[in-house]
Amino acid sequence: MPRAIVKGFGLNRSKSIRYGARMPGSKRPTLADVAASAGVSVALASLVLRDAPGPSAASRERVLVAAGELGYRPDTRARLLRSSRTRLLGVVFGVQHEFHGDLVGGLYTAAEQRGYELALSGVTPGRVESRAVRGLLDDRCEALILLGPHAATSALVELAASLPVVVVARAVRHQEIDVVRTADDDGARQAVDHLIGLGHRRIAHVDGGLAPGAADRRRGYREAMTAYGLEPAVVAGGLTEQDGATAATALLADPPTAVTVFNDRCAAGVLGVLQRAGVGVPEAMSVVGYDDSRFASMPHVDLTTVAQDVERLTTLAVERAIDRLDGTSVDTREQVVAPHLVVRGTTAPPT
Amino acid sequence: MPRAIVKGFGLNRSKSIRYGARMPGSKRPTLADVAASAGVSVALASLVLRDAPGPSAASRERVLVAAGELGYRPDTRARLLRSSRTRLLGVVFGVQHEFHGDLVGGLYTAAEQRGYELALSGVTPGRVESRAVRGLLDDRCEALILLGPHAATSALVELAASLPVVVVARAVRHQEIDVVRTADDDGARQAVDHLIGLGHRRIAHVDGGLAPGAADRRRGYREAMTAYGLEPAVVAGGLTEQDGATAATALLADPPTAVTVFNDRCAAGVLGVLQRAGVGVPEAMSVVGYDDSRFASMPHVDLTTVAQDVERLTTLAVERAIDRLDGTSVDTREQVVAPHLVVRGTTAPPT
DNA sequence: CTGAAAGCGCTAACAG
DNA sequence: CTGTTAGCGCTTTCAG
């Protein structure tokens, strides 16, 4: 992450006036102020500042100069209140969720490119999803993008009755809900393909249980193994390091030569146990994770893993939301994005 | 993180009307609708819905019922536009930054308790801090809470001329800026104390360079060592795993029995190198991290580390922002919160 | 091409 | 206690 050098915040007042905590009477300039200063009407000023067609080059110039001098910034609330459209996309995300952070980053750029703004609403241990959604609704977002929502399908459907809802990173089978997600079965398949290519035959899968995506990953694993004429072996796991540790312990009773794990966190647990048990990775056992989290790319972990295509996921999500708003007819309700394998140091041919 | 069970989003329309993507003419009910339905004036309805003193129990009841039936939700923008106060606190955070996620969680609860709302604005690789700030300003936030801002002090000061600014998790020495941060020197000192208590004498410190907090942690380490009559040994490091790996390699030339590291990520790099070099942790070398990140608590990592007090940091930040808004006079511009050591498995007496 | 006037949904004076 | 009347700052007809 490059450390951006920020010179200023572009407040751009004619001269930076310093005043104490609350100097009263120094309100921000309004459109009326700008218009007055430029010697035109508010309406004209409004047109110029939105650069709508109409105003002459001369007026345009004068208004722009006046606005610049006053350090004018339009009031979002007033603007949105008046115009029927808000061009606001609400995003619900888990504040502690690393992958959601990545997705939010992608959403910002995708939205900006299409001329929309994002309104963020975080889910925290003390702030449930429904609360986050409600805040967005009150802000008059035009559509909602939900990252890995916990809500029941029925609740999502109810919500989708009020405004377009795009669910990202969770499979929801319902007519009303747009979904953008990763082809998790394909990801699992790629992991198996890779291991087979290295010469492995005894490949186990540590399962994610009920977690979103787990069913697909499990299925992808099963199908791939079967396609190769091999016997699938699924071990109960979960989404935490602890789950991985438990699974690895079970695995050690009759160790395979390779294992695909539900996600990186779980894989971390697996790696920990293997290390303590003296099972060398990748010499004695190959391990493949899922998510390409920061953990996976750490030098001393160097975990082979399946990466989701953040840019594509977020672009599709934003586009779908906007398509719905525009009334563009849409063929597929569910858009599935292919992941790709990132080969690192935890996989090698069996010895 | 408990998986919240969400039954619905509380839209609460009398009957859940299902309509297609964009059924026109089905706008949300306004205050006027509610008032009409309850047979009272808008003003009265407004009073009831904000539960302001005045309205009789009877009218209150009728308005509430009407609002409930219509599924009325006040329009945030209209409300804020009209009232001089917005009760909105803008928060700038790094979307990829794990610790910022924790802080945002704390801020939400702190703000809610004081009757304020949060407006989130994320910094991403493609969205610089100044942009994030500008968005918040346009939303007419009353104060800004900046998490570990990159901006130059001068830019922060300029910003603080327009509205109260509270900087969290970064030291800024300036009259106009309120700062809430962790006593990083104290944290480093606690780490050294702990190691000394275990019997270590040769303790090195892997430095964070120019990163926020690094100087304080380095100083805390130095002072603690000196206080014990020991020779400080600072090794160049940084904030990534790679930096830690480099530092550890340097360290191995003349290994100490213990090392305090700038942060957990860097410590991860250190641990990786030590492991590969066959230096047992904690038998041959004790390692202390900083941040108590998720990584530190992973079972197979189990890193002794210094934890920041998120709840206190966020509570103080919100309170300070509100104090400024209320014009409450404030004594200390900078509030420093003590961290605490979390002892785990990477520290033990020297052998 | 420009200006006057109406009003988005709500709150905040005032009257009654 | 309740209703009427003005706007918040902006966009949007609709005339000029």
Query: In the numeric block, which tokens belong to residue B213?
Result: 């907090």
| Residue-wise DSSP of B191-258 | HHHHHHHHT---EEEE--TTSTTHHHHHHHHHHHHHHTT---EEE---SSHHHHHHHHHHHTTS--SE
pLDDT digits (tens, 9 = 90+) for A204-223: 999 998 888 899 999 999 99
**At residue A253, what is the residue type?**
A
**A175-189, A307-321, B58-72: segment of lowest average pLDDT:** B58-72
- Asked if A95's CB is within 8 angstroms of B105's CB, the reply is yes
Comparing CA positions, the residue from B45, B15, B44 lying closest to residue B30 is: B45
More confident residue, B41 or A129: A129
Angle CA A320–A326–A331, to nearest 5: 50
Residues in B closer than 8 angstroms to A4, CB to CB, are 123, 128-129, 150
Asked if A196 and A221 count as a contact pair (C-beta separation under 8 A), the reply is no
**At residue A287, what is the residue type?**
V
Residue A321: partners with Cβ closer than 8 Å, 6 or more residues away: A89, A142, A143, A144, A145, A164, A166, A178
Tell me, in Å, how far CA of A83 is from C1' of D16? 25
Nearest Cβ partner of A76 from B126, B129, B138? B138
Give the distance from residue B296's alpha carbon to the nearest chain A alpha carbon, in angstroms: 11
- Asked if B241's CB is within 8 angstroms of A10's CB, the reply is no
Q: Among B283, B300, B303, B318, which would you mutate to test the A interface (most chain A Cβ atoms within 10 Å of its Cβ)?
A: B300
Nearest Cβ partner of B242 from A2, A273, A299? A299
- Asked if A104's CB is within 8 angstroms of B127's CB, the reply is no
A276: pLDDT confidence band, cut at 50, 70 and 90? confident
Q: Among B17, B77, B129, B295, which would you mutate to test the A interface (most chain A Cβ atoms within 10 Å of its Cβ)?
A: B77
Asked if B116 and B318 count as a contact pair (C-beta separation under 8 A), the reply is yes
Instruction: Give CA–CA dist A325/A145, Å, rounded.
Output: 13
Tell which B residues from 316 to 335 touch A, by Cβ distance under 8 Å.
324-325, 327
Whole-number pLDDT of residue A242: 85
Sign of torsion, CA A268 A272 A274 A275?
positive
CB-count burial class (<10 Å; 0-12, 13-18, 19+) for A100: buried
- Asked if B130's CB is within 8 angstroms of A122's CB, the reply is no
Residues in A closer than 8 angstroms to B2, CB to CB, are 125
CB-based contact (8 Å) between A279 and chain B? no
Q: Taking CB atoms and an 8 Å cut-off, how many pairs form between chains A and B?
A: 235
Asked if B275 and B281 count as a contact pair (C-beta separation under 8 A), the reply is yes
Q: Which residue of A has its CA nearest to B163?
A: A21
Asked if B329 and B176 count as a contact pair (C-beta separation under 8 A), the reply is no
Asked if B182 and B148 count as a contact pair (C-beta separation under 8 A), the reply is no
Nucleotides of D under 7 A from a protein CB: 1-5, 7-13
Whole-number pLDDT of residue B154: 93
Whole-number pLDDT of residue B248: 95
How many H-runs (helices) and E-runs (strands) does chain A carry?
12, 12
Tell which A residues from 187 to 216 touch B, by Cβ distance under 8 Å.
none
- Asked if B98's CB is within 8 angstroms of A22's CB, the reply is no
A27: pLDDT confidence band, cut at 50, 70 and 90? low
CB-based contact (8 Å) between A300 and chain B? yes
**At residue A212, what is the residue type?**
P
Whole-number pLDDT of residue A5: 37
Tell me, in Å, how far CA of A140 is from C1' of C11? 19
Residues in B closer than 8 angstroms to A327, CB to CB, are 21-22
Over residues A147-163, the mean pLDDT reads 92
Residue A341 has pLDDT above 60, yes or no: yes
Instruction: Give CA–CA dist A86/A88, Å, rounded.
Output: 5
Per-residue pLDDT of chain B (351 residues; tens, 9 = 90+): 333 334 466 554 433 333 222 333 356 788 988 888 888 888 899 998 888 887 888 888 888 988 888 888 888 888 888 887 788 999 999 998 889 999 999 999 999 999 899 999 999 999 999 999 999 998 889 999 999 999 999 999 999 988 999 999 998 989 889 999 999 999 999 999 999 999 999 999 999 998 888 999 999 999 999 999 999 999 999 988 889 999 999 999 999 999 999 999 899 889 989 988 999 999 999 999 999 988 898 877 889 999 999 999 999 999 999 999 888 888 889 999 999 999 999 999 998
Instruction: Give CA–CA dist A123/A121, Å, rounded.
Output: 7
Whole-number pLDDT of residue A9: 67
Query: In the numeric block, which tokens belong to residue B106?
Result: 């704390």
Average pLDDT taken over every residue of chain A: 88
Nearest Cβ partner of A21 from B10, B95, B164? B164
- Asked if B97's CB is within 8 angstroms of A17's CB, the reply is no
Residues in A closer than 8 angstroms to B265, CB to CB, are 298
Residue B137: partners with Cβ closer than 8 Å, 6 or more residues away: A9, A11, A73, B90, B162, B163
Instruction: Give CA–CA dist B314/B277, Å, rounded.
Output: 41
The secondary structure of residue A304, as a DSSP letter, is: B
